Chains A and B, each alone.
Chain A
């Protein structure tokens, strides 16, 4: 497996490989999102309790799942960066962090917009909203720490440590917030559980989820390319490419 993997640790190969992935990701994401959104927003039935407002679910839940998944993938990249000293993992962390923060913000904003008709207020200290907010703080901490270092390599290593510390703490924070919430507020607002969802809602949700996932993948690949170029700007292959683009 190592023989098959190690060529991709070369920045030039990785740059061109992600460049080839981006158009495919874009096409798949566009197809899935168009189909999923159409099914979700126009064809799926309205919820018998929540009415039409339930449709925001097709954006809110994929964003929330991806926000946590991206943090986890960032921590995996941090682990690779610390253990195998991979320079490309540094670029990957810097590429993932803002995208993950954006998905967290989307989940929070759509959550607030969903909360207004459902709960009567924009914000409620619901367990999931609160832990999502804390996740946003963790993302912003990672981004701020990365920006604070003048030396990019040193900053990337510091960010790797922070991402790992964060991912260890994330479940502890999540469960303590959940417990705090049930303690202070009595019964939380009941939401329908995922498995009991009707098939007519589940299928558009899955399509939307994969659509957003491929969109995130494409955005991350694009940012990753930028990071690789910025970190290798003195290498001959980058210079050659820049010169070729000028003509």
Chain B
């Protein structure tokens, strides 16, 4: 890489590279989404399709399904790059690791979480979510899913060198997702009861910015450990 490459250009280069790779492997985008839909269907079948029961559990179920499908797609973030050696080359480049990691996480969020956010209203309708909750669900997903990608990237970076990282990843990362889950479902619940939920959104936004600033450093340190 050219040492005079500006941070913005490096960010764009990695972003477009990762997006191109993702678009050429469309299964990787579609499968977590299918998983998201199937989990929600299973909940509806398992709990029983009483409309008022579905209505009370809808925010929680949709958010838990979003967590799980994010977790499923996370491994793609660094695994292939680690295996073909390009991750090490990226870490050796003069560009700060912070920029590289942020670009990769942003690309991952674009291909996995944005389709999920767009699909969420449809599933909210199937789960009989109260109409007042739609906007809150959209906003919490928009602010919350980047946190999931950022925190998840730490876990992936720690486990990328391991052969059986998948189950371990969920053990490491899911406890860290709890605050987002609590705040997001509380916001949607508050919205369906017609009470203000801006406070919840503000805290989710605060968590988002905090993780945006700190998580890439942790990811960088973890990647350096993993690539030795």
B-contacting residues of A (Cβ < 8 Å)? 82, 134, 137-138, 140-141, 144-145, 148-149, 151, 154, 157-158, 161-162, 164-166, 168-169, 172-173, 176-177, 179-180, 183
Q: Is the pair B182, A145 in contact by a Cβ cutoff of 8 Å?
A: no
CB-defined interface of B162-176 with A at 8 Å, one 1/0 digit per residue? 101100100110111
Q: Which of B172, B176, B178, B225 contacts A157 (CB 8 A)?
A: B225
List 9 interface pairs A-B (beta carbons < 8 Å), by A numbering: A134-B175, A138-B175, A141-B168, A144-B171, A144-B172, A158-B158, A162-B172, A172-B179, A180-B182
Q: Is the pair A140, B218 in contact by a Cβ cutoff of 8 Å?
A: no
Flag whether B222 is at the interface (Cβ < 8 A). yes
A144 and B174 CA atoms in complex are apart in Å by: 14
Q: Which residues of A have CB within 8 Å of B225?
A: 154, 157-158, 161
- Given contacts A176-B178, A177-B182, are A145 and B159 in contact (CB under 8 A)? yes
What's the dominant secondary structure at chain A's contact region? helix
Flag whether B214 is at the interface (Cβ < 8 A). yes
- Given contacts A148-B164, A183-B186, are A165 and B171 in contact (CB under 8 A)? no
Q: Which residues of B have CB within 8 Å of A172?
A: 179, 207
Q: Which of A134, A149, A162 contacts B178 (CB 8 A)?
A: A134
Flag whether B120 is at the interface (Cβ < 8 A). no
Residue of B nearest to A151 (CB): B228
Q: Which residues of A have CB within 8 Å of B175?
A: 134, 137-138, 141, 169, 173
Q: Which residues of A have CB within 8 Å of B176?
A: 165-166, 169, 173
A-contacting residues of B (Cβ < 8 Å)? 154, 158-159, 161-162, 164-165, 168, 171-172, 174-176, 178-179, 182-183, 186, 207, 214, 218, 221-222, 225-226, 228
A164 and B222 CA atoms in complex are apart in Å by: 11
Q: Which residues of B have CB within 8 Å of A176?
A: 178-179, 182-183
A173 and B159 CA atoms in complex are apart in Å by: 23
A242 and B99 CA atoms in complex are apart in Å by: 51
Give, as a whole number of angstroms, the nearest-CB distance from B146 to chain A: 16
User: Nearest 8 A-B pairs (CB), nearest first?
Assistant: A176-B179, A157-B225, A180-B182, A137-B175, A141-B172, A176-B182, A141-B171, A158-B158
Residue from B179, B222, B226 whose CB has the most chain A CB atoms within 10 Å: B179
Give, as a whole number of angstroms, the nearest-CB distance from B35 to chain A: 23
Give, as a whole number of angstroms, the nearest-CB distance from A48 to chain B: 35
Residue from A148, A154, A161, A177 whose CB has the most chain B CB atoms within 10 Å: A161
Residue of B nearest to A160 (CB): B225
- Given contacts A138-B175, A141-B171, are A161 and B222 in contact (CB under 8 A)? yes
Residue of A nearest to B224 (CB): A157
Give, as a whole number of angstroms, the nearest-CB distance from A168 to chain B: 7
Give, as a whole number of angstroms, the nearest-CB distance from B196 to chain A: 14
Q: Which residues of B have CB within 8 Å of A162?
A: 158, 172
